[in-house]
Amino acid sequence: MASIEGHMKVTDDLIKRRRERSFKPFYPRDIYFNTQASWDTIRHFADGLGDTNPLFRDRAYARNTKYGCVIASPAFLYSVRWLSPGRGFTGVHGWYSGGEWEWYLPIYEGDEFKVICVLLDQDEKAGKMGKGRTWIDYSLVLYVNQKSELVGGEKGYSIFAERSKAGSAGKFKGIPKPSYTEEELRRIYDLYENEDVRGAETRFWEDVEIGEKIGPMVKGPLTVRDIITWMMGGGSQFYKAHKIAYDWVKRHPGGLMFVKELGERDIPELVHVFDSYAREIGVERAYDYGCQRMSWLCNLLTNWMGDEGFLWKMKGDLRSFNMVGDTTFYEGRVVKKYMDDGRCCVDIEAWATNQREETSMAPAVSTVILPSKAHGPVIYPEPPFERAEWVKKAKPLEEILGGS
């Protein structure tokens, strides 16, 4: 419970109800943003993350590829839904902090999606962001197309902390907005100018070498414009207007956050736009979306693999807030090259740092499947048995909530 000028608290009852819902696959009440991968939604998503790959936007170009049409960035599925609803932690601040993706098929222009969600484990730990008490909440989202094919899924995790404690902890307060010299800006502009999009030049598995470097690729300096453009392509959970917003607040009276600095209540997503909202939960300035930064990692990998490659697995672990003014540099290297059931695989360790040389995304390994001169084109992977079973067992969210 909370007063109008207060924040919601985590109670034993909330934790109990959340854990009772674990490992029960369900269909959410609604899709988060996109239900279809149309040419427009695919292109808008690519615009939102600054991805210039013509495979994701140029119909004439795409017709001459093996797909015969525009396909979407694998990260497009974030715009269908990211993370599971139904945790029961409404009004407690959550930060999407990373995840482990697997894809099994390309996302074609015209594909339509439904999603299955599974709440997984939840761990409580001592954390600085929650001033001694935080929760790590794991969930799985599976994406099924109009042919009933499982296209992909992400095991993601969020960090939850009570807003009042996060705000007073102040771990990320007082960090000055960066300024850049002409030389530093020139380095950033040169990286944009020389960004390597492999595209139609096929990258064969035989030509890849262990230790080969990937990147660097740059995103930034981050502006509010970048964040709003991301929302235009990737969607928003809370941005609603007028009567629709009124109806949402009526159903979720604890969903708004109170900002003492302004004396107002509004949606928590405004931490990504207004510094005052970010400061309320202990961050100096507005900051990016976690799934936005994960999509930039996807951008790095798809740039490298080219049109003929397939991104099978992607892992990212976000470690610090990427605030307005910060610049993110992505890099990677090939760490393994192997065959997996006829598939020609390459493991890539990738990471990101900011202009202060802090870790923005911890090193983690992703897997790309490449065509081979000896073994032929890419063979798409099969979904794990457990994920296929969860698709079969999914129920409406209302059944999982049990009337609560």
Q: Is the pLDDT of residue 35 over 90?
A: yes
Question: Band of the pLDDT at 251, cuts 50, 70, 90?
Answer: confident
Residues 6+ apart with CB under 8 A from 356: 178, 326
φ/ψ region of 242 (left if φ > 0, alpha if ψ in -120 to 50, else beta) reads: left
Lowest mean pLDDT among 185-199, 225-239, 247-261, 332-346: 247-261
Q: Is the pLDDT of residue 220 over 90?
A: yes
What is the predicted pLDDT for the residue at 90?
62
What is the predicted pLDDT for the residue at 114?
95
Provide the percentage of residues in the chain whose pLDDT is more than 70.
92
Q: Is the pLDDT of residue 81 over 70?
A: yes
Two tokens, residue 114? 């439904």
Lowest mean pLDDT among 158-172, 178-192, 196-210: 158-172
Domains of the chain listed by start with CATH number = 12-401 (3.10.129.10)
Q: Are 82 and 156 in contact (CB under 8 A)?
A: yes
Question: Band of the pLDDT at 5, cuts 50, 70, 90?
Answer: very low
Q: Are 380 and 310 in contact (CB under 8 A)?
A: yes
What is the predicted pLDDT for the residue at 379?
97
Distance CA 98, CA 317 (A): 5
What is the predicted pLDDT for the residue at 1?
37
Q: What is the pLDDT of residues 93-122, one digit of tens each?
A: 778 889 999 999 999 999 999 999 999 988
Q: What is the mean predicted confidence (pLDDT) over 10-22?
A: 81
Cα distances (Å, whole numbers) of residue 176 to 128, 166, 285: 20, 19, 9
Average per-residue pLDDT for the chain = 90
Which residues, listed in sequence order, are joined to residue 27 by a DSSP beta bridge?
396
Q: Is the pLDDT of residue 182 over 60?
A: yes
Two tokens, residue 315? 């892992």
Question: Band of the pLDDT at 215, cuts 50, 70, 90?
Answer: very high
What is the predicted pLDDT for the residue at 123?
83
Residues 6+ apart with CB under 8 A from 382: 104
Model pTM score: 0.93
What is the predicted pLDDT for the residue at 30?
79
Q: Is the pLDDT of residue 329 over 60?
A: yes
Query: Which residue type, as a one-letter code, is found at position 241?
Result: A
Taking the alpha carbons at both ends of the chain, their separation in whole angstroms is 15
Two tokens, residue 304? 């490298």
Instruction: Say whether the peptide bond before residue 176 is cis (omega within 30 degrees of 0).
Output: no
Q: Are 116 and 26 in contact (CB under 8 A)?
A: yes
Query: Which residue type, as a one-letter code, is found at position 170?
Result: G
Bigger pLDDT: 267 or 6? 267
Two tokens, residue 77? 């599925």
What is the predicted pLDDT for the residue at 403?
47
Residues 6+ apart with CB under 8 A from 269: 236, 237, 238, 239
Distance CA 395, CA 154 (A): 19
Lowest mean pLDDT among 12-16, 24-28, 64-68: 12-16
Bigger pLDDT: 335 or 17? 335
Q: Are 24 and 400 in contact (CB under 8 A)?
A: yes
Stated as kind and residue range, the H or E segment containing 41 is helix 39-49
Q: What is the pLDDT of residues 337-363, one digit of tens each?
A: 999 999 999 999 999 999 999 999 999
Cα distances (Å, whole numbers) of residue 246 to 90, 115, 252: 16, 26, 10
What is the predicted pLDDT for the residue at 61?
98
- Cα–Cα nearest to 101, from 397, 383, 395: 383
